């Protein structure tokens, strides 16, 4: 019996199918590239829908989800700084995120307060921990719900160790490096004592940046809370006492808004409406305050509905492939 061979028509069909799949893949990739190119161009030009017409009294910026990029939030705060609006509410619902974006947002808030004499109030939703609390510490006042999870003052760096699995499947890595610490955190081998000590020193350095930022931003409320606990005048409390007072709670633990209020880490217990009223009072706004929300433009919302992944999740995926220090809870 003769073996059946592929007929010319079958070969043509397969070739057509491969070409069709190739063109489809090309157009999909081209579409994604064009969409992100347009998104980048619009973002660079400040092309979000903006409430900053100069007629508002209180502006609202929401930080929802993990913080792995700061460009958009920083742009919004800078627009607020240039406007004639009196105050800003920063609505936080976030477990924190990467160190540098949290620090950049923190610095921009301080600039709005100190250089532009604006009022900024943090309103905490369900979760405002670690990097989100770092950001809140830069604000004039912090309002949290009693059940808000906040605090989590600390730094984390995680590294997978797949050396056991690689050994089982017979995969070995040959590494050429310029210094003994260059491949620290490689998943292909266990970490040695020197590397662990080096990374611990780095984490400790970044932790103290966080801790000092909290002390600087919350010094007076912490001083008053400690004075009340010790039953002394606030003026007798020095900086070292404040640090020793809050250090036991700066071990990465998340605490409730109720506990944070007792410690002086937040100023008031209440919901979003309470934060609005407090902001209006601080800004000297008479009558019912008007709040204008700065939300992503329609183009950004279209991206979220079309694409199966967000820009933030992409950034997180890429950043987690290398050394990444995070102010993150959970």
Residues marked as catalytic: 130, 182
**Average pLDDT estimate for 16-38:** 64
User: Is CATH 3.30.470.20 the right assignment for the domain spanning 51-158+186-328?
Assistant: no
Under 8 Å between Cβ of 123 and 93: no
The mean pLDDT of the chain is 82
pLDDT given for residue 169 in this prediction: 85
Token digits of residue 253: 């633990």
Helix (H, G, I), strand (E, B) or coil at 52: coil
Cβ atoms within 10 Å of 35's Cβ, excluding its own: 15
3-state SS of 183-230? CCCCCCCCCCHHHHHHHHHHHHHHHHHHHHHHHHHHHHHHHHHHHHHH
pLDDT in tens, 243-259: 999 999 999 999 999 99
Token digits of residue 294: 């700065």
pLDDT given for residue 43 in this prediction: 46
Strand partners, 124: 92
pLDDT in tens, 150-167: 999 999 888 888 888 878
Under 8 Å between Cβ of 139 and 114: no
- Exposed, middle or buried by CB within 10 Å (0-12, 13-18, 19+), for 179? exposed
Check residues 127 and 311 and name the one with the higher pLDDT. 127
What's the rounded Cα separation, in Å, for the pair 270 and 277?
Answer: 10
Q: What is the pTM of this model?
A: 0.77
């Amino acid at each position: 019996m003769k073996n059946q061979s592929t007929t010319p028509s079958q070969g043509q069909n397969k070739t057509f199918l491969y070409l069709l799949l190739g063109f489809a893949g090309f157009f999909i990739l081209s579409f994604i590239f064009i969409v992100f190119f347009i998104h980048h161009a619009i973002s660079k030009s400040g092309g979000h829908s903006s409430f900053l017409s100069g007629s508002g009294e209180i502006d609202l910026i929401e930080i929802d989800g993990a913080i792995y990029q700061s460009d958009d939030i920083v742009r919004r705060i800078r627009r607020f700084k240039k406007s004639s609006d009196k105050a800003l509410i920063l609505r936080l619902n976030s477990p924190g995120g990467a160190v540098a974006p949290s620090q950049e947002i923190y610095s921009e808030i301080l600039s709005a307060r100190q250089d532009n004499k604006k009022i900024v109030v943090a309103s905490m939703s369900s979760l405002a921990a670690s990097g989100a609390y770092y950001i809140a510490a830069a604000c004039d006042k912090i309002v949290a719900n009693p059940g808000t999870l906040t605090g989590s003052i600390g730094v984390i760096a995680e590294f997978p160790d797949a050396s056991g699995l690689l050994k089982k499947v017979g995969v070995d890595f040959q590494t050429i490096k310029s210094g003994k610490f260059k491949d620290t955190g490689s998943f292909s081998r266990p970490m040695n004592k020197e590397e662990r000590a080096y990374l611990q020193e780095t984490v400790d350095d970044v932790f103290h940046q966080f801790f000092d930022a909290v002390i600087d931003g919350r010094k007076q409320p912490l001083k008053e809370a400690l004075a009340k606990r010790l039953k002394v005048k606030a003026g007798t409390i020095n900086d070292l006492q404040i640090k020793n007072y809050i250090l036991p709670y700066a071990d990465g633990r998340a605490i409730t808004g109720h506990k944070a209020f007792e410690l002086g880490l937040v100023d008031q217990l209440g919901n979003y409406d309470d934060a609005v009223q407090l902001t209006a009072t601080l800004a000297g706004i008479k009558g019912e305050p008007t709040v204008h929300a700065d939300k992503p433009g329609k183009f950004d919302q279209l991206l979220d509905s079309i694409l199966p992944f967000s820009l933030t999740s992409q950034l997180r995926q890429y950043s987690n492939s290398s050394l990444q220090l995070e102010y993150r809870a959970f």
